[in-house]
Amino acid sequence: MGVNDILSKLNEINLEDVVRVFVPSLQREVSFKPLSLQQQKEILKAGISSELFNILEFNAIFNSIIEQNSLERINFKVIDRSVIAIAFRNKFTSQPLDLDEKKIDTKILEDRKINFSIDAFNDIVVEEGLLKIKACAPQLSFDQAITKLQLAKIKKTENIDVATFISEMYVYEILKYIKSIHIGELDQDLTLLSIEDRMKIIEQIPASLITKLNNIISKQFKTPEDEYLTIDGTKLALDARLFV
C-alpha cells in the first residue's frame, strides 16, 4: 500500500467521523471533517504571535479550515465561527480548557445555542437626516479578505504603530457590516466597490451614526455570542488556546 492509498483511507475515515454543527446563519446542522494534525499545527502557530496580532492570524487560519472541512459549499457568516470552533475543539479533545487558572469544561456548550434574535438575520438600517446605511452580518469570505489585508500590512511594516493599527482595526470591523449607503436619491451598493474605496467612504460617515450602528451590532451579535462563550463567569476567547 502506497502513501496515496493511506491518504485516501484516512480521508474515508474522516468522512465517516464527521463533526455536526448547528450553524446559526442557516438554522440547521452542517457536517464537517474533523480537525487534522496539520490544521492544529497551523492554529498553534497563531498562538506564538503577539496578543495584538494572534487573533487576526487565528481568524485567517480558522476561516480557511471552515471552508476546507465543510462537506457542503456554503456562504458561512462570521456569526457561525464561534459555534464551529467549539464543536471542533470538543471533537478534538475531552480535556478541560486551562484558562486563567481555571479548568473550563467546554463540553457544556454542546447543548447550548447562541441566542440570536430573529432581527439578526435581517438587514440593519440606521439613518440620520438624509443619510441612511444598511448593514448585515458579514460573510466569512469577506471577513477573510479583510483579515488577510490587515495581515499583509503588518508583514510589510517593520515598526507597527500600535495605536494606529488598533484604530484601523476598528474601522475595518465596521466596514465588514455595512453593505450600502443612501444619501437622498443617491444609492451606492458598497459590495461593488474595492475595500480601499469602501474604507474612504466609511471613514467620512458621521461618528454619531456609526455609534448607533455599533449599538445594534453589539446587541444583535456581540452580546449573544459573549453569553454563549461564557462558562461559570469566564468568557472563552476564540484563539489558539482552544486547540492546545
Q: Indicate the range of 13-22, 114-123, 184-193, 200-209 predicted with least confidence.
A: 13-22
pLDDT digits (tens, 9 = 90+) for 54-71: 888 999 999 999 999 999
**pLDDT averaged over the chain?**
88
Q: Indicate the range of 102-111, 149-158, 204-213 predicted with least confidence.
A: 149-158
Q: Give the rounded percent of residues in the chain with a pLDDT score beyond 90.
A: 59
Domain ranges within the chain, ordered by starting residue: 1-244
Question: Would you give the DSSP letter of residue 221?
Answer: I
Distances (CA, A) of 126 to 81, 119, 190, 202: 26, 14, 16, 14
pLDDT class for 118, splitting at 50, 70, 90? confident
Helices (H), the chain: 3-16, 37-46, 51-69, 81-92, 140-156, 162-177, 195-202, 207-217, 223-228
Q: For 148-151, which contacts have Cβ atoms below 8 Å and span 24 or more sequence positions?
A: 148/60, 149/195, 150/56, 151/53, 151/56, 151/57, 151/60
Give first-to-last CA distance, the chain, whole Å. 33
Most confident segment among 37-51, 94-108, 201-215: 201-215
The size of the chain, in residues, is: 244
Q: Contact 25/77 with Cβ under 8 angstroms?
A: yes
d(CA 199, CA 171): 8
